[in-house]
Amino acid sequence: MSSIITSDFLVIGSGIAGLSFALKVADHGKVNVISKQVASETNTSYAQGGIASVTENSDKFDAHIQDTLVAGAGLCHQDALELAVKDAPNRIRDLIDWGVNFTKNDDGSFDLAREGGHSMHRILHAKDMTGAEIQRALLKNAQKHPNIEIYEHHLAIDLITEHHVLGNLQSAFNICFGAYVLCEKDQCVIPFQSSYTILATGGASKVFLHSTNPDIATGDGVAMAYRAGVRIANMEFVQFHPTSLYNPGKRSFLISEALRGFGGKLINGAEERFMLRYDERAELAPRDIVARGIDAEMKKRREDCVYLDMRHLDSKEVKRRFPNIFKFCKESINIDISLDPIPVVPAAHYFCGGIMTSLTGQTSMQNLFAVGEAAHTGLHGANRLASNSLIEGLVFGNNAAQKVIRKRARNFGSVIIPEWDESGIVDEKEWVLTRHNLKEIQSIMWDYVGIVRSKKQLERARRRIHVIYQEIEDYYKKSKISGELVELRNLAAIAFLIITSALRRNESRGLHYMTDYPEKSDKYLKDTII
């Protein structure tokens, strides 16, 4: 058993929310950041389109707030929304101070884009690799700060709570002391003890068969928090990005919403523009509407994909504005996006639900905070407005940092964290069977809990996931730990949470569309809390 590693702040996750928090608190104490792969492999790195903020006089906070409210279908928390929108310009300045280079016009002004659901051009971007540019700058700053240490290839297994610790803790209740972490290189479990633990683990879209997310998006933070008894909210609201590249058998690749904002049109196999049949805003309707429109068109015509058409736009400008997407499509499926229609399909993209937090990131457990996609702040409501995710990570990461800087941790005296029990019977034949559960989970979720759902489909999914969940838990209890097993266990928990939440909402709202309950109901103007 390796020695305990201690710090003032333990940040689990190295994306925009985790690293911005770490940079804010690093002058006030020791920060340990753990990343399950290399620190640059995050959901943030894959964000193409940009980051939303009011930056010009022609735009107004009220307009950004209203656009978010419309997309959120009545479930946005007004306090979280106003905070995020009004604080966004300050956080953009933080990014610029950290060295993020946003694309600018010849006159030095920001080259602002417009995306679905926005009434104004307010999306700052770094060409079509905004997330990668933000990740680069944050990571560079974090790596050179003397109080920040980054542990790559370290995977959090479970939170350490009062149920684990030994010592004089009669007065302690519902408290987080850190996390048990698997060092993949040495295959040993290390307790990371900390005054404050921050879950910034990103999303969980790998629970679905088709996802725009990298393989790391297995919902680790939400699953750990759920197992520790922390409140989880609104897991039924999963955003499916309308346009991922249709390339069967290959990893999904996001075709940014910015292409539609630039003027791209969606057409079917007969080259008919179809989105006007589903919404007057056509391609610039909120993502839930566009994804359902594409899904309906594919089913009606029995086609495997639809197409994003950029052929009517200036070819040179398309290539200049979207160089990464142009290069990827040319190399992977040999099409020129300025001359050929791009085959696209919806894919799981973003979770609007997660670990319930206050405006300062505080969860229902003492000394445990959550920020970024892993958190449910209430900003997004039932559907996230495009490009509001990166700014959410910054705003609430900053709020959490200011909170813990002001707050003094309670002194619990002698706290003894027991060693991780590494005993386990490894049955390779049984593991071969257990690992097959991953594809089964993903297929069940895609087939029955996807863009369009029904009570019957959800009940069928619940029965099947319940059996798989128990199989994985039984195997986990008697087996030596591995990264693959930890992620599989977490995905099973995420599937359970999504289905359970969806079954409690007998209406259609935002990203949750039920064929047997097609209308909204005021009865469900509330969060679904587990």
If asked whether residues 69 and 196 sit together in one domain, one would say yes
Three-state DSSP state, 5: strand
Residue with tokens 């863009």: 451
Q: Are 10 and 132 in contact (CB under 8 A)?
A: no
- Give, in order, the Cα–Cα distances in Å from 476 to each of 16, 426, 472: 31, 10, 6
pLDDT of residue 414: 67
Strands 306-309 and 368-370, by their bridges, are: unpaired
Final residue before a domain boundary, out of 347, 373, 391: 347
* Phi-psi group of 218: left, alpha or beta (phi > 0 → left; psi -120 to 50 → alpha; rest → beta): alpha
The residue range of the domain holding 187 is 5-236+352-416
**By mean pLDDT, which of 154-158, 237-241, 427-431 is the weakest?**
427-431
If asked whether residues 299 and 258 sit together in one domain, one would say yes
287 among known catalytic residues: yes
- Give, in order, the Cα–Cα distances in Å from 334 to each of 117, 325, 341: 31, 12, 12
- On whether residue 421 sits in a domain, the answer given is no
Question: Alpha-carbon distance 181 to 31, whole Å?
Answer: 15
Sorting pLDDT into bands at 50, 70 and 90, what band is 2?
Answer: low
Highest-confidence segment of 30-39, 284-293, 411-420: 30-39
For the stretch 446-494, pLDDT in tens is 999 999 999 999 999 999 999 999 999 999 988 888 999 999 999 999 9
Question: Alpha-carbon distance 465 to 482, whole Å?
Answer: 22
pLDDT of residue 423: 74
If asked whether residues 326 and 466 sit together in one domain, one would say no
Final residue before a domain boundary, out of 416, 437, 472: 416
**By mean pLDDT, which of 43-57, 91-105, 341-355, 408-422 is the weakest?**
408-422
If asked whether residues 153 and 293 sit together in one domain, one would say no
pLDDT at 205 over 60: yes
Q: What tokens were used for 321? A: 């504005």
pLDDT of residue 170: 55
pLDDT of residue 362: 98
- On whether residue 441 sits in a domain, the answer given is yes
Strands 188-199 and 5-12, by their bridges, are: parallel
Side chain identity at residue 286, one-letter code = P
Of 201, 159, 154, 187, nearest to 491 by C-alpha is: 201
pLDDT of residue 409: 59
- On whether residue 526 sits in a domain, the answer given is no
Residue 282 vs residue 480, higher pLDDT: 282
Phi, psi of 496 (to 5 degrees): -60, -45
HSE-up (13 A, CA, CB side) for residue 169 = 19
Sorting pLDDT into bands at 50, 70 and 90, what band is 435?
Answer: confident
Q: Are 174 and 161 in contact (CB under 8 A)?
A: yes
If asked whether residues 357 and 322 sit together in one domain, one would say no
If asked whether residues 491 and 453 sit together in one domain, one would say yes
Q: Are 191 and 405 in contact (CB under 8 A)?
A: no
Question: Alpha-carbon distance 472 to 495, whole Å?
Answer: 13
Q: Are 493 and 507 in contact (CB under 8 A)?
A: no
- On whether residue 473 sits in a domain, the answer given is yes
User: How far from each other are the two terminal CA atoms of the chain, in whole angstroms?
Assistant: 35
Sorting pLDDT into bands at 50, 70 and 90, what band is 1?
Answer: very low
For the stretch 446-458, pLDDT in tens is 999 999 999 999 9
- Give, in order, the Cα–Cα distances in Å from 239 to each of 183, 244, 289: 32, 13, 11
**By mean pLDDT, which of 42-51, 376-385, 489-498 is the weakest?**
42-51
- Give Cβ neighbours of residue 385 (< 8 Å, ≥ 6 apart): 52, 67, 68, 71, 72, 117, 118, 286
389-406 helix and 16-25 helix, angle to the nearest 10 degrees: 30
pLDDT of residue 140: 98
pLDDT of residue 504: 98
Choosing from 91, 122, 260, 287, the catalytic residue is 287
If asked whether residues 209 and 108 sit together in one domain, one would say yes
pLDDT at 169 over 60: no
pTM of the model: 0.93
For the stretch 77-108, pLDDT in tens is 999 999 999 999 999 999 999 999 999 999 99
Three-state DSSP state, 410: coil
- On whether residue 380 sits in a domain, the answer given is yes
Final residue before a domain boundary, out of 365, 390, 416: 416
Three-state DSSP state, 126: coil
- On whether residue 423 sits in a domain, the answer given is no
Sorting pLDDT into bands at 50, 70 and 90, what band is 14?
Answer: very high
Q: Check which CATH number belongs to the domain holding 18 and give it.
A: 3.50.50.60
Enclosing H/E stretch for 10 = strand 5-12
Strands 51-52 and 148-152, by their bridges, are: unpaired
Considering only CA atoms, give the Rg of the chain: 22
Q: Quote the mean pLDDT of the chain.
A: 93
- On whether residue 112 sits in a domain, the answer given is yes
- Give Cβ neighbours of residue 464 (< 8 Å, ≥ 6 apart): 440, 444
Q: Check which CATH number belongs to the domain holding 248 and give it.
A: 3.90.700.10
Q: What average pLDDT does this structure show over 354-360?
A: 98
If asked whether residues 249 and 228 sit together in one domain, one would say no
Residue 172 vs residue 365, higher pLDDT: 365
If asked whether residues 40 and 154 sit together in one domain, one would say yes
Highest-confidence segment of 246-260, 383-397, 469-483: 383-397
If asked whether residues 369 and 494 sit together in one domain, one would say no
pLDDT at 413 over 90: no
Domain count, the chain: 3
If asked whether residues 41 and 188 sit together in one domain, one would say yes
Q: Quick one: how far is CA 374 from the chain centroid?
A: 6
Q: Check which CATH number belongs to the domain holding 448 and give it.
A: 1.20.58.100
If asked whether residues 111 and 206 sit together in one domain, one would say yes
pLDDT at 171 over 70: no
- On whether residue 529 sits in a domain, the answer given is no
Sorting pLDDT into bands at 50, 70 and 90, what band is 262?
Answer: very high
For the stretch 113-152, pLDDT in tens is 998 889 999 999 998 899 999 999 999 999 999 999 999 9
